Chains A and B, each alone.
Chain A
Amino acid sequence: MRIELVKRPERSALFAALSPFIALGLTLIAGAIMFSLLGKNPVEALYYYFIDPLREVWSLHELAVKAAPLILIAVGLSICYLSNNWNIGAEGQFIVGAIVGSILPVMFPDFQSWIVLPLMLLMGIVGGAAYGAIPAYLKVRFNTNEILTSLMLVYVAQLFLDWMVRGPWRNPAGMNFPETRTFSAAATLPEIWSASGRANWGFVFAIVAAIAMWFMLSRTLKGFEVLVLGQSPRAGRFAGFSQSRMVFFAFLVSGGLAGLAGISEVSGAIGQLRPTISPGYGFAAIIVAFLGRLNPLGIIAAGLVLALSYLGGEAAQISIGVSDKVVRAFQGMLLFFVLACDTLILYRIRFVGSSAAKTVEGTQNA
């Protein structure tokens, strides 16, 4: 017997909706297998991983803290991926946004006014967008592969941040620890509801950005342009849309949102710059984007799921003593299953009897 993929005449709306859930289910099964191989009780492990963090209000706040950057970045990435621009460098744009946004509180700590915070956010957006413009320019001008350039620029940004906090921007009163001075109250992103937990306005930005991008994609001509150029570039050119301008648009939007995520994280959750300010949000957001079906509203849900995987990883480390690398394993499995399940949207599975199994066929479709 042989399993075949048969192309569907139209996209299956059912599987477009179902595929993320199938992927989640398969990830849980594979996760249970992984835990039992590690010698842990899989049911207990999965409980601590996925249920326990949702039981207290303060940890729901933590969930929002983790989800905010993931959603912000993933929403921008969805514009990139829908328009066929493979920006893998959101982590770098996140870091540069955080650095540029921190110029005011680090270099001018005495400048304290209500305008500081909006300026910081704006500078974060500009910084991330400018860093995203580099792979865009290289792609348009020299036809380089944006996957490689954007990815390599991540390491440039990480090392630059490391040098900044150890060198020029090191806190003069910080006992030589590699970190900048802590931000003043005027430069700190306020908490939404500080009585019950740490969640800050970054989460609100994320939701607003997701709704705005959803509206842009589904209701406006610009969104139509994104989709046409992504699906059939030649039809896009026939429509009079410019491929190069779309490359810049996608990278500037996603860089800007990643930059906003970066400065929100630094100003809201951390309060200073450190050598490491992200547990890989820029990469995890790629998973979020695909798990959310590249739909900004789906991405809100997907961002919460991935945020849970971070929280669960910490919880599981404490309660059952597994390595925090388990987080990466879960995220990797999730992306793998999401991409695999997406096949079901365009193809259906057919089981073929053994009589036909001997001939292996090429691709002969009309």
Chain B
Amino acid sequence: MDTTPLANGPNLLEVRGLTKIFGTLKACDQVDLTIAKGEIHALLGENGAGKSTLVKMLFGSLEPNAGEIGWNGKTVNITSPGVAKKLGIGMVFQHFSLFEALTAAENIALSLADDTPISTIAAKARALSYSYGLPLDPDSLVGDLSVGERQRIEIIRCLLQTPELIILDEPTSVLTPQEADKLFETLERLRAEGKSILYISHRLDEVRRLCDRATIMRHGKVVGHCDPRQETPASLARLMVGTDVKNAERTTASVRGQELLSICGMSRKPAGPFSMPLKNIWLEVAGGEVIGIAGVAGNGQGELFEAISGEALQDSADAIRIRGQAAGRMGISARRLLGAAFVPEERLGHGAAPRMRLSENLLLSRHTTDGKAFVGTAGLVKSGAIQKAAQRIIQAMDVRKSAPDPEAAALSGGNLQKFIIGRELDRNPAVMVVNQPTWGVDAGAAARIRQALIELARNGSAVLVISQDLDELFEISDSIAVMHNGELSKPIPIAEATLERIGLLMGGAEPGHLDHEKEVA
């Protein structure tokens, strides 16, 4: 490892002493970064390390307090995303900014802000998408597309502006292994064409596979530069976190307990034009075990979660049993009272109200289960008790924040997720259902969350984890079922599950799945 940046070509971007201060917090402190022409440069760091702040300054969304940015040897002042685009800096965001009710081409046209007719844009986008191996139908509605396809729109939107530097924020967090492989091929091609890429990721394997150099940030500072191909995932993680990161330890399941969550032949009609039906789902989760549900985004996982949580009711009470009680006609609060806890995929706006404080967000899911502790006579809210409980959760899960009781939206994704999971764990639920527990969460926080889920199961609870991250499922599950096109496969015990077998099921290769196979372009 080397602390001075080494360049293997003329530098495209040279950042010197870039500093951004929010109040008393130095989000970026004297950051130096160089990116050469034609390299894929990884930016590594835990959530809250300052990566997002850094790239926002590079993209003109934030103004630095100090420091300078050199572009092609000249000092530039990037005052807005427009300036960044004109210089040739493009960005693909982790959270897509697409309108679901518009087509892909219309979404691209919106960001171009000139009068090019949609048909021209569509033709260009189609040509570009095929030439980079990212097939995309520009006329399809975004709402109908999978997350992977939506990402392609973002990438193509970025490529249409022929950037020299492309910033990708956590691009593979939503892709299947096969989709990720395709993305890597595209990125390697872009590199071969002399474009530079700044690649932000937590997935150390792919950084090692793809990137030429890496810059590692911790607490707002650059703590090192290295060649990721000469490091191990463990050594990279150590650089990022500052201490050793352990994989979650999975002790073998003790005796399989009683069935705590049973889904018996549940079906559900599609709720809207963009949603998936659920078809005859059977699943049993017993105390002491973790069952993982794999699947490409948009194959009914969200609908399944809503059905189990009680945000959508079932036609028959027996379709879902929680701790033996028929719960199909119960709402979410009644299911919580039976001992179930739920963590949805979207953190902001679903699991938490963005503009409410953490303590208020604690009340969100626990006003009924902890009615006595948090709500007094005549519906009076006991804010003192809630504050105390919130602090307890913040400590237990090591939630990092800038104010004593900040709004949920002010927290980084990983820290908010730690709080939301901690909020449910704090109750010691008998049944825990989690959708995407670690999406967009850094390695340290993810390890902590996974460990907490395993521990919960080993203490006798039933844990159901819906995730698109296969590594995660293999790490924590006792068996894995696969969701495809609204159907759920039988759970495969972890000893018999291989990446290939699960990958095939995700693609729909199981009798009964083939009929419905949809062309995922």
Pairing of A with B: yes
Q: Which chain A residues have a beta carbon within 8 Å of chain B's beta carbons?
A: 4, 9-11, 219-222, 224, 227-228, 231-232, 234-240, 242, 352-353, 355-356, 359-366
Q: A220-B379, A238-B365 are in contact. Are A9 and B410 (CB under 8 A)?
A: yes
Beta-carbon nearest neighbor of A350 in chain B: B63
Contacts of B169 in A (CB 8 A): 366
Contacts of A219 in B (CB 8 A): 380-381
Contacts of A366 in B (CB 8 A): 52, 56, 61, 93-95, 169
The distance in angstroms between the C-alpha atoms of A227 and B410, with both chains bound, is: 18
The distance in angstroms between the C-alpha atoms of A364 and B93, with both chains bound, is: 9
User: Which of the candidate stretches B65-73, B231-239, B342-350, B449-457 sits at the interface with the other chain?
Assistant: B342-350
Contacts of A231 in B (CB 8 A): 353-356
A362 pairs with B381, CB closer than 8 A = no
The distance in angstroms between the C-alpha atoms of A228 and B408, with both chains bound, is: 13
A359 pairs with B83, CB closer than 8 A = yes
Contacts of A237 in B (CB 8 A): 311, 332
Q: Which 8 A-B pairs have the closest CB atoms?
A: A359-B82, A240-B333, A361-B82, A220-B379, A221-B379, A235-B353, A362-B111, A240-B332
Contacts of A228 in B (CB 8 A): 353, 356, 364
B82 pairs with A360, CB closer than 8 A = yes
Contacts of B379 in A (CB 8 A): 220-222
Q: Closest CB-CB distance, A253 to chain B, in whole Å?
A: 15
7 new A-B contacts, CB < 8 A, other than A238-B342, A238-B344, A356-B82, are A11-B355, A232-B350, A238-B309, A238-B364, A238-B365, A240-B332, A365-B97
A221 pairs with B353, CB closer than 8 A = no
Contacts of A227 in B (CB 8 A): 356
Does B336 sit within 8 A of A, measured CB to CB?
yes
A240 pairs with B336, CB closer than 8 A = yes
B354 pairs with A221, CB closer than 8 A = no
Q: Closest CB-CB distance, B518 to chain A, in whole Å?
A: 26
Q: Closest CB-CB distance, A359 to chain B, in whole Å?
A: 3
B410 pairs with A224, CB closer than 8 A = no
Q: A238-B309, A240-B333, A359-B83 are in contact. Are A224 and B113 (CB under 8 A)?
A: no
Chain B 373-406 per-residue mask, 1 if CB under 8 angstroms from chain A, else 0: 0010011110000000000000000000000001
A359 pairs with B94, CB closer than 8 A = no
Q: Which chain B residues have a beta carbon within 8 Å of chain A's beta carbons?
A: 22, 52, 56, 59, 61, 77, 79-83, 85-86, 91, 93-95, 97, 110-113, 169, 309-311, 331-333, 336, 342, 344, 346, 349-356, 360, 363-365, 367-368, 375, 378-381, 406-407, 409-410
The distance in angstroms between the C-alpha atoms of A220 and B363, with both chains bound, is: 11
Contacts of A232 in B (CB 8 A): 349-350, 353-355
A235 pairs with B349, CB closer than 8 A = yes
Query: Can you name 11 A-B pairs with beta carbons within 8 Å?
Result: A11-B407, A220-B380, A221-B381, A238-B311, A240-B336, A240-B367, A356-B82, A362-B113, A364-B91, A364-B111, A366-B95
The distance in angstroms between the C-alpha atoms of A220 and B378, with both chains bound, is: 8
The distance in angstroms between the C-alpha atoms of A366 and B375, with both chains bound, is: 37
The distance in angstroms between the C-alpha atoms of A220 and B381, with both chains bound, is: 5
Q: Looking at the complex, which one of B83, B97, B336, B368 makes contact with A364 (CB distance below 8 Å)?
A: B97
Q: Looking at the complex, which one of B311, B367, B368 makes contact with A224 (CB distance below 8 Å)?
A: B367
Contacts of A236 in B (CB 8 A): 353
B356 pairs with A239, CB closer than 8 A = no
The distance in angstroms between the C-alpha atoms of A276 and B120, with both chains bound, is: 59
The distance in angstroms between the C-alpha atoms of A363 and B332, with both chains bound, is: 36
Contacts of B368 in A (CB 8 A): 240
Q: Closest CB-CB distance, A83 to chain B, in whole Å?
A: 13
Contacts of B22 in A (CB 8 A): 9
Q: Closest CB-CB distance, A10 to chain B, in whole Å?
A: 6
Q: A10-B410, A220-B380 are in contact. Are A352 and B331 (CB under 8 A)?
A: no
The distance in angstroms between the C-alpha atoms of A363 and B111, with both chains bound, is: 7
B410 pairs with A239, CB closer than 8 A = no
Contacts of B360 in A (CB 8 A): 224
Q: A362-B111, A362-B113 are in contact. Are A235 and B364 (CB under 8 A)?
A: yes
Beta-carbon nearest neighbor of B371 in chain A: A221
Contacts of A235 in B (CB 8 A): 349-353, 364
Q: Closest CB-CB distance, B366 to chain A, in whole Å?
A: 9
Q: Closest CB-CB distance, A186 to chain B, in whole Å?
A: 34
Q: A231-B355, A363-B97 are in contact. Are A352 and B80 (CB under 8 A)?
A: yes
Q: Closest CB-CB distance, B330 to chain A, in whole Å?
A: 10
The distance in angstroms between the C-alpha atoms of A352 and B77, with both chains bound, is: 12
A361 pairs with B81, CB closer than 8 A = yes
B364 pairs with A356, CB closer than 8 A = no
Q: Closest CB-CB distance, B439 to chain A, in whole Å?
A: 15
Beta-carbon nearest neighbor of A353 in chain B: B79
Contacts of B79 in A (CB 8 A): 352-353, 355-356
A221 pairs with B349, CB closer than 8 A = no
The distance in angstroms between the C-alpha atoms of A235 and B351, with both chains bound, is: 6
B56 pairs with A234, CB closer than 8 A = no
Beta-carbon nearest neighbor of A227 in chain B: B356
Q: A10-B407, A220-B378, A359-B82 are in contact. Are A234 and B110 (CB under 8 A)?
A: no
Contacts of B375 in A (CB 8 A): 221
B86 pairs with A359, CB closer than 8 A = yes
The distance in angstroms between the C-alpha atoms of A339 and B310, with both chains bound, is: 38
The distance in angstroms between the C-alpha atoms of A158 and B352, with both chains bound, is: 43
Beta-carbon nearest neighbor of A215 in chain B: B380
The distance in angstroms between the C-alpha atoms of A219 and B353, with both chains bound, is: 18
The distance in angstroms between the C-alpha atoms of A134 and B411, with both chains bound, is: 42
The distance in angstroms between the C-alpha atoms of A11 and B408, with both chains bound, is: 12
Contacts of A10 in B (CB 8 A): 406-407, 409-410
Q: Closest CB-CB distance, B19 to chain A, in whole Å?
A: 18
